[in-house]
A and B are shown apart, each in its own frame.
Chain A
């Protein structure tokens, strides 16, 4: 069965510092890959997605993610964190084939930003 692992439950960074949130997946074939962000009291919003092609994907709010097939990873990065980036971040995968459309979400990483 497919699974998504976000090994860090909480990450604390200082404003202006760089950020990397980790995501590893277990899947039979390379799935579609997503990162979502959930601001406090809000629903989830798509940050970026990987389908094919360039393994470095740019998203909204200055985020990027890199797909590494050999490591089954899709880590999210930002060079300089802003206080407004404090939120919950979810990695997700969806199958490319097989008739199933159900995405699998990781358990989330909570980002805390210190001034």
Chain B
């Protein structure tokens, strides 16, 4: 049982490049989400999903796309990277029934130059 996995752990991009941050969970959780963490800002919700084929925007969705084709995977796409997207990105999952306890991945540290 790996929990929530994220790849890569570190990434450096040039402005304008695109990339996909991968997130997978093996707990059969319906709810998955992406956060970015910046100093002094806490966790800000980018996008979330309550099941395969269903996604919605969070607090800071601009510049990011998501899709949810399976229960397990929830990739985050940066369409045209900007220095303002330099951050640490966390994926989280939780069951929809009961506790809403969030399970977090280890994070991806992204630098855009």
Contacts and interface: CB of A to CB of B under 8 A. Distances in A.
A105 B96 contact: no
B94 A42 contact: no
B107 interface: yes
B100 A108 contact: no
B99 A102 contact: no
A76 B45 CA distance: 24
Nearest to B95: A101
Interface string A11-34: 000000000000000000000101
What are the 8 A-B residue pairs with the smallest beta carbon separation, nearest first?
A107-B42, A43-B104, A94-B100, A44-B104, A105-B43, A43-B106, A108-B42, A101-B31
30 contacts: A9-B40, A32-B100, A34-B102, A36-B104, A43-B4, A43-B90, A43-B104, A43-B105, A43-B106, A43-B107, A44-B90, A44-B92, A44-B102, A49-B99, A49-B101, A90-B42, A90-B43, A92-B102, A94-B100, A101-B31, A101-B50, A101-B96, A102-B45, A102-B48, A103-B100, A103-B102, A105-B42, A106-B42, A107-B41, A108-B43
Interface of B: 4, 31, 33, 40-43, 45, 48, 50, 58, 90, 92, 94, 96, 99-102, 104-107
